[in-house]
A and B are shown apart, each in its own frame.
Chain A
């Protein structure tokens, strides 16, 4: 066979074949070693262990009922639910705090801008793990025991056993209020769409915000009144050695969410700032020239454009937050990684345990990336 090395297509094919062969060989080598090792060490393989009794307790099982007699699968589901719980709260709060601080950095007020800048500089430059340990130490070492709990607001208690705060005592009426809120939200969306069409048709803009606010607030309020207006709150109170009643955030959960929020917010703040700064100054001026006031200019002209630059990097920050929530394992919050870690310790099936962790996070990443791409395509600048 004669090969002319000059033919780029042939060379490309050869490169690719070599790469593929190398990867396959490496894979085969690793798999054969692993199989030999598993057999030599009598480690079981396969996912049969998922159906077996886990035998360990989990500290926080807020969403899925769980006991030590349940299966590993259920334990992992509890872990995943805990991961989502932290991620959801973290994302919402970090977005709010980040946007606030990002805008504060752009403030005309020198002191506020400097404070925001100091926050961002310090928080971004210290590893998240250090911050998590710090918050955890603050809560468990420096807050008093429940007897001497700090009460910053009436009914809210800070103690080394976590944070306790009042919540409305649950009754069926609250369920109806939730349903009414959902209905109201749907109606508000429909109303906004109708208003947009009407504006397009007539040039006049119906009061969207007022309508939406009314639709969001009134139905649950009516449901509440119709249900007899229950006002009972479940307030935490010291009972014996601990608080009873109200809602409770464990020190681990509090430290993890606080750390994730504070850390991620500093990155979101920078993205928001950069997004607003990226808008050409002419856009402001054009908006002013059209007679828009500053607030309106910001809302109608600048922010929609800034969002285009803000959304993609912020989404990747959300992904980072979800991945970073796996640091829970270091402070003992029972998230997915932490539970999988315990499972690996008990069963010795490291490959399966790590595969589960990776598969779950990979799925989350891919789903969010797909949503992201869809959104990006929707808001992309349509150049005509």
Chain B
């Protein structure tokens, strides 16, 4: 391992113009010194060992379509069986939703993704987002439940696959976020009882694994309620996810609150603003702006964590993948199945993390511009 260097020292990618530029780039970035050259060769060897077999397996020798699993079994070990995904993709994406109505969750997924994408545009960061989200979520609700002319009613036990993952994420974050702000404000309120309650809640939830909260929601919550009162399984899991997200988001928001200079509070007090005016008009807008990048990271983590509802028997994306593997004809293709699931999750998370990075840079630039 060559000793790490400061990035400013690192001249990667800034090859000077000239006839021998590629060669010079190679020497500067791959063969700068003996250890460096050895490192390059080792990395190349690793790639050469890993890539061609993978390409053979995943693409060249893969079986893309097959009427049943026999062809795949015959090719076991040689090529990937993407025919499994081809056969099961409808179930993986939409779960037990009625087959003829699959377009509805598909459109709902597009709407949800569109809402998230729209919320990422900085020029839409104003009051217009509120009606946009309200209309979007209403449309998703009508599509998913139906019960209006032309759309038969579909109970939420039948929702599954990608849409369930997206819904758990969206509603989890949408409800947890205001809760998190209250918790963060409470933790910094200076009122001992409220502070104690908030700290207790936050630390309790952050100190235990999400699984134990999900177990609690699935097994204990029915005991907490009066006899004959039941809460839907999906809703119970959603409650656990909300509490979990709220505790983690609260800590991020608290970080933002702490970063606000005292002068801002004092200035607001000097203007004679009430507590809520001060909080809503002066403190929160600044604190939230500071916390946007870590918030997006928490969102990504939460999106990944929704996969844990598999353990309590909800049919989210990962769960539908796993259930697909229990059909005797198609058992034994776990590697292909989980690679497919990984790819779907990756697309969403990678997009979000790229967005978060660009946003961070943009905000830093904007700050620098303002200071100038």
Contacts and interface: CB of A to CB of B under 8 A. Distances in A.
Interface of A: 12, 15-17, 19-20, 23, 30, 33-34, 36-38, 40, 100, 103-104, 106-113, 115, 121-122, 124-131, 133-134, 136-138, 140-142, 276-277, 279, 281, 284, 294-295, 298, 323-324, 326-327, 329-330, 337, 341, 344, 350-351, 354, 357-358, 361-362, 365-366
B5 A108 contact: yes
Contacts of A141: 332-335
Given A129-B318, A350-B220, A134 B339 contact: yes
B212 A361 contact: yes
B2 A34 contact: no
Max chain B CB contacts within 10 Å: which of A127, A136, A137, A357? A127
Interface of B: 1-10, 12-13, 29-30, 32, 36, 39-40, 43-44, 46-47, 77, 191-194, 197, 203-204, 206-212, 215-216, 219-220, 222-227, 300, 304-305, 307-308, 310-311, 318, 322, 332-335, 337-339, 341-342, 345-346, 349-350, 353
30 contacts: A20-B193, A20-B197, A34-B223, A37-B227, A40-B227, A106-B7, A106-B10, A108-B32, A110-B13, A111-B44, A121-B350, A125-B304, A125-B353, A127-B345, A128-B304, A129-B307, A134-B342, A137-B337, A281-B6, A326-B211, A326-B212, A327-B308, A337-B209, A344-B215, A344-B219, A350-B223, A351-B223, A354-B212, A358-B212, A365-B207
B4 A329 contact: no
Nearest to A110: B29
A126 B349 contact: yes
A324 B5 contact: no
Contacts of A365: 203, 206-208
Nearest to B190: A12
Given A15-B194, A141-B334, A344-B219, 10 more contacts: A33-B226, A38-B223, A108-B2, A109-B2, A121-B350, A125-B353, A127-B307, A136-B334, A329-B311, A365-B203
Shortest beta-carbon contacts, A-B, top 6: A137-B334, A125-B349, A110-B29, A365-B207, A106-B4, A16-B193
B39 A107 contact: yes
A108 B209 contact: no
Contact of A326 (B8, B193, B209): B209
Nearest to A135: B338
The interface residues of chain A, by DSSP majority, are classed as helix
Contacts of B337: 137
B342 A130 contact: yes
Contacts of B224: 30, 33-34
B338 A133 contact: yes
A124 B342 contact: no
Contacts of A358: 204, 208, 212
Contacts of B40: 109, 111-112
Contacts of B334: 133-134, 136-137, 140-141
A133 B223 CA distance: 32
B36 A109 contact: yes
